[in-house]
Amino acid sequence: MWPALHRSGFTPYRFRPEQERDLLGLGLGITSIVRRPTARAAELMPDEYLQGGEDLVRRMEALRPTWLAFLGVTGYRAAFGAVDAGVGAQPVSIGGARVWVLPNPSGLNAHYPPTALAVEFARLRVAAGLPDRSGLIGDGPFGQPAPAVR
Calculate the alpha carbon distances from 81 to 50, 56, 72, 87, 104 in Å: 9, 14, 14, 15, 18
Query: What is the dotted CATH code of the domain comprising 2-127?
Result: 3.40.470.10
Ranges of each domain in the chain:
2-127
The CA-based angle 141-147-148, given to 5 degrees, is 140
Query: Which among 131, 103, 99, 130 has a CA at the least distance from the CA of 117?
Result: 103
DSSP 8-state assignment for residue 77: H
Q: Check: CB of residue 103 under 8 Å from CB of residue 138.
A: no
The tally of CA atoms less than 13 A away on the side-chain side of residue 49 is 19
Kindly give the confidence (pLDDT) of every residue in the chain, 150 residues in length, as a single tens digit, with 9 standing for 90 and above.
899 999 999 999 999 989 988 888 887 777 778 887 777 777 888 899 999 999 989 988 888 888 888 888 888 999 999 999 999 999 999 888 899 999 877 666 667 777 888 899 999 999 998 889 887 665 544 444 444 443
**Could you tell me which residues are beta bridge partners of residue 98?**
67, 93
Q: Which helix (H) or strand (E) holds 102?
A: strand 97-102
Q: Given this model, what pLDDT does residue 137 score?
A: 64
**Can you say how many angstroms the Cα of residue 103 is from the centroid of all Cα atoms in its chain?**
8
